[in-house]
A and B are shown apart, each in its own frame.
Chain A
Amino acid sequence: MANELPQNFEEFAEARREGFLLMKELKDKGRQVCGTFCQYTPAEIIHAAGLKQVGLCGRSHLPIKTAETRLPANLCPLIKASFGHVMEDSCPFAYFSDLVVGETTCDGKKKMYELMAEYKPMQVIHLPNVPDYDRSLEMWVSEVRKFKEGLEAHFHIRITDEMLNESIRWNNKLRTQQAHLYELGKYDPPAITGVDMNNVTDGFQFMFDDEEKYRKITRIIEECEKNWQEGIYPVEPDPIRPRLIVSGGGYAATNEKTINVIEELGASIVCYEGCCGISSLRRKVDEDESRDPIVRIAEKYLEVPCAVVSPNKRRMEQVADTIDEWKADGYVSITLHSCNPFAVETENLRRVCAGKGIPLLHIQTDFTPGDEGQIRTRIEAFLEMIREKKREAISHE
């Protein structure tokens, strides 16, 4: 079984490219597609509406030039790339999207959507700023409901409570499995590499057959656990190997110079936190069907640990818990240039890490080449520092 594993991972790694064809087939069959950008977009409602959901966050530096004819240069590359793709019609997923769903997360995206609406049918969900039940749940419920009604109007459908309940159950089930995948990193040595972990969760967005997707991830988890129990590890056991948590938002396009290098240089990424990270996956939607499903969905998403809310105490608590649970030795915050929320908040993460006695490395980068060397050097120094600490700790035992 073990030698089949890389093949499975490969499938996920290739999912985005393969997804283009799958999506075209789906469209040819008359399925409708909803393009999204953000963890805040309630997947339960899109799924209940029978729509296929696909992530539209840009990852290429190529459309940025086009985007800069309308957007300022000093803006996050993800925002520019996503918008440039829509302007150019150069991203098949955006091209095939019948509706694009935006959210008022960060200033840059929120304002960009106003321009994107000139090119694509759009719905923008407004988010609360203070992640507090008393102060924000009411407005947030109103926005989630408005989103549901918007989908109904746009696609001429009706989304019943039964459909929502079923979708809630399904998404909880899927999310639980995704969380299990990250939990494989709790083993020492981890039962999966951080690069593979990322390939699977990232590839997930571009697989459109739900049942098959669930089967595949389940199989990967089972095989990884089985291998580990049998002493087959993805990396050699090593008491001084740094165990890292990686956090941040929207950095998928920088993997080659960031997370891949971290593992290439001998560290293990044991978990991800932040956008697409562990916290969102562990928080499920309440399945008590006697309560309004829209309210239950809103409750879950009010707890998304995104850096756009203030004061973001919940995220800081989750970060502290994640460090303990995954026994992390270091934290890497990867933020894109001009991403104010995640970059400014990194200072708060640094303080949490300091409280836990572990160091934090902040990498600020974008989609263009040129900074690989500098990033690699900083990662090397960071890892060496952690190894030194671990060596010392062992010698004192």
Chain B
Amino acid sequence: MNKQELKRLIDDRHRAGKKVALSFCSHVPEEVLEAAGLCHFRLPYMEGMEDSASRILINNVCPLVKNVCDICEDPALSEADLILAETSCDGKKKMYELLTNQDRLYFYQVGQGADRDYVRPLIKSEVRYLIRELEKRFGIAVTDADLREAAKRVNEERESVLELMAVQRAFPPAAYGMEIYQALEESRTLPELKDRTSANRRAREAFLARKSPVSPDARRILLTGCPMSGVYEKIIHGVEANGGVVVAIENCEVMKTAVRHFDTEQENLMEAFADCYQNTACAIMSPNLRRFALLRQLAAEYEAEGVLEVTLQTCHPYTVERDRIQQLCKNELQIPYMAVETDMTDSDTGQLTTRIAAFIEML
């Protein structure tokens, strides 16, 4: 998506009397935003932004943080009503503090682990604070019934992502990873949750209705690591033009978010929030046991033959966690593993392709 399209969407929602919230992280509870009647986007990498990052930020910071900074500062998007500034990684949380329009921000606090005693109470209390904030800010009321209904829609969207990914379990997988990623990139930018769900389902049906274009000999690659929206083309192309096929994507744009489920039947809704968001396999969690469990599960379910980790430069949570992921693959899963580090430019495409090709050839 480019900013003109997003601007059009924002204007369009405003005309329909809706407020628009932007977020950049899977820790932000979508159910709350949906229940508050907001149009909410968890934005992918956006091209064509005006450069603000080089003025505001130090140079050695993750390219995604720079992109989020550009998005939040871009005059074309100044009409968005709310930005969820979550305290996930250092780079992002500190960047949010430097943004010009602080009134448009709300800081949502994220815990640093999944299984400590404080984590569940913290999620519950932060969700309550967020609800109260939205009620105050937009003069609305968010009821339990609203939250339950919203959660059903969010669940459906998550399930549609899981089902779309699941077409890759077949031999050969029903689609190229590139097709799946592109379908998800497109559906993510639809303004309504139910439209995102239908788009994912349509994509799935289209893949299943045709004969798979993927060679039965293609090596099955599990992608893991940082958000890949700004780099997926060169990475997935590197895999799929060199005898591989991406069968699963373990990152927060795809599986980390989609595997979470909100129990809409749970009597105490706050408990349901805690269950759902505690189960976030993000590298800012220490230790991040859920990611190890998720990788084990996906490697088995998708019968991966190789694990390719993609990290963005200066993303400390994921780059430091690499060591243990490598051990998991090597010692426990016994699946070949390779890590590549990249950024949003094209300058490393050749080198990346060579390394990925060599990795696949070795499998």
- Complex interface residues of chain B between 215 and 262 (CB less than 8 A to chain A): none
Chain A residues with CB under 8 A of B313 = 74
By beta carbon, the residue of chain A nearest B113 is A126
Q: Are A111 and B93 in contact (CB under 8 A)?
A: no
A223 at the interface (CB under 8 A from B): no
CB distance from B336 to the nearest CB of A (A): 19
Nearest-neighbour CB distance to chain B for A56, whole angstroms, equals 18
Q: Indicate if B109 sits at the interface (CB-CB under 8 A).
A: yes
Taking CB atoms, residues of chain A closer than 8 Å to B314 are 74, 338, 340
Tell which of A111, A338, A345 touches B321, judged by Cβ atoms closer than 8 Å: A111
Which residues on the B side are within 8 Å of A344 (C-beta)? Answer: 57-58, 61, 90-91, 94-95, 98
8 Å CB contact of B125 from A107, A114, A138, A348: A138
Residues of A within 8 A of B321 (CB): 111, 114
Segment at the A interface, from B116-124, B138-146, B273-281: B116-124
A72 within 8 Å of B by Cβ? yes
Cβ proximity bits A110-125 to B, threshold 8 Å, 1 near / 0 not: 1111110000000010
A139 and B122 form a contact (CB under 8 A)? yes
The reply to whether the CB of A43 lies closer than 8 angstroms to some CB of chain B is no
Q: Interface range on chain B: under 10, 10 to 19, 20 to 34, or 35 or more? A: 35 or more
User: Which of A162-170, A174-182, A264-272, A307-315 is found at the contact surface with chain B?
Assistant: A307-315
9-residue interface stretch from B169-177, B185-193, B202-210, B282-290: B282-290
Indicate whether B96 reaches chain A with its CB closer than 8 angstroms. Answer: yes
Within A105-148, the residues touching B (CB, 8 Å) are: 106-108, 110-115, 124, 126-130, 135-136, 138-139, 142-143, 146
Q: Once the chains bind, are B87 and A310 in contact (CB under 8 Å)?
A: yes
| Cβ contact within 8 Å between A72 and B319 | yes
Q: Is A70 part of the binding interface, using a Cβ–Cβ cutoff of 8 Å?
A: yes
Known contacts A111-B317, A135-B109; A310 and B97 CB within 8 A of each other? yes
B310-347 contact mask (Cβ, 8 Å, vs A): 1 or 0: 00011011011111100000000000000001000000
Residues of B within 8 A of A130 (CB): 87, 107, 109
B284 and A107 form a contact (CB under 8 A): yes
| Docked CA distance A230–B18 (Å) | 72
Known: A107-B317, A310-B85. A124 touches B286 (CB 8 A): yes
From known contacts A310-B87, A348-B98, A364-B58, infer whether A111 and B111 are also in contact, taking CB-CB under 8 Å. Answer: no
Q: Is B126 an interface residue (CB 8 A)?
A: yes
Given contacts A107-B90, A111-B316, A310-B87, 20 further A-B contacts (CB under 8 A): A74-B314, A107-B89, A113-B286, A114-B320, A114-B321, A115-B320, A115-B323, A126-B111, A130-B87, A139-B118, A139-B122, A311-B96, A338-B314, A340-B91, A340-B314, A341-B94, A344-B61, A344-B94, A345-B94, A364-B58
Q: List 25 A-B contacts (CB under 8 A).
A: A75-B316, A106-B316, A107-B320, A110-B284, A110-B286, A110-B317, A111-B321, A113-B286, A114-B287, A114-B321, A115-B320, A124-B286, A127-B112, A129-B87, A135-B129, A136-B109, A139-B118, A146-B117, A308-B90, A310-B87, A311-B107, A338-B314, A340-B94, A347-B57, A347-B98
**B interface residues, Cβ below 8 angstroms from A:** 56-58, 60-61, 85, 87, 89-91, 93-98, 102, 107, 109-113, 116-118, 121-122, 125-126, 129, 283-284, 286-287, 313-314, 316-317, 319-324, 341
